Structure 1
Amino acid sequence: MPTTDKPVSKWNTRDFQAYLKAEHERLYGIPYVPMRGWKAEAGMLGSWVGTKQKPGEYGPEVTKRFIDLCFAEYRPTAEWPGVNFGWMKTYMGTKIQRVAAEIRDEEAAQQRREQQAEIGDDFY
């Protein structure tokens, strides 16, 4: 997978498309087909992840976790054997709230641990 050579925080739309394609084929065993084509999907991803010219609404880490959650919760059917980012955004988009809350809570817990480490155990 071409995205493993750099951290998620540095991923661009092309990295996300490669990840979506690879994960989709790994999980469902069928080719990945973007909604309305690769260029349209790149635009959707760019609005979430960000581009060189404009920051995204959520950033790469939140977007990747959202995609992973959608893949984990989607159950293929005979009529809909796979998904794509456009479908995830349209029909599973509310899950972004859950992802954002999880990340917020993780960051708060990390901040508390760092503060505790600065203070030290002998303070209490």
Structure 2
Amino acid sequence: MPEINKPIEKWTARDFIVYLHDRHLEVYGIKYVANNRGMEARNLKTMIDEYGAAIVRDFIDACFASKKPTAQWPGCNFGFMFSYMRDRHLPPLLAKQKTAKQTEEDEQRAAAQSQINYGELF
């Protein structure tokens, strides 16, 4: 796994490649294989820049959870995830993130409104 003490917000494409290798072995029991490592790294960087590292990790985990191995396709790599699984797994994660962000903003607004300075009332 990527450096254990490194916060997810600081993960890079390199950290995600290590994560993919480790999780793939854990989920499928076989080594991770990618056809084009350069393209994989560029796609990871694109997603990290656009959505943030936490969403990318959740996306990878969702793809691994849903992709069941078959005799013809016993594993799953990020190229496949990015090309064929993104439209199904990314939108729910983005909606969940938006809801969580909205809830946090609502809580902050409510906390700010509840901090009344009673000295100013008189």
Please give the range of the TM-score, normalised by the shorter of the 2 chains: 0.7 to 0.9
Specify which of 44, 50, 55 is matched with residue 57 of structure 1: 50
TM-superposition CA deviations, 1:35-82 (whole Å, max 9, x none): x23222111111111xxxxxx222212211111111111111111111
Partner of 1:21: 21
Partner of 2:96: 102
By percentage of residues, which structure has more helix?
A: 2
SS in 2 for 1:26: helix
8 Å Cα contact 1:24/1:30 also seen in 2: yes
CA RMSD of aligned residues (A): 1.8
Partner of 1:31: 31
Letter in 2 for 1:40: M
8 Å Cα contact 2:2/2:16 also seen in 1: no
8 Å Cα contact 1:41/1:85 also seen in 2: yes
TM-score (norm 1): 0.83
CA distance in 2, matches of 1:117, 1:90: 43
CA distance in 2, matches of 1:98, 1:4: 27
Letter in 2 for 1:111: E
Equivalent positions of 1:34-113 (< 5 A) are: 34=34, 36-49=35-48, 56-94=49-87, 95-113=89-107
CA distance in 2, matches of 1:87, 1:7: 26
CA distance in 1, matches of 2:2, 2:99: 30
Give the number of equivalent residue pairs.
Answer: 115
Letter in 2 for 1:101: A
Aligned residues with identical type, % of pairs? 38
Structure 2 gap segments, 5+ residues each:
115-122
CA distance in 2, matches of 1:100, 1:76: 26
8 Å Cα contact 2:69/2:75 also seen in 1: yes
8 Å Cα contact 1:3/1:18 also seen in 2: no
Structure 1 gap segments, 5+ residues each:
50-55
TM-score (norm 2): 0.84
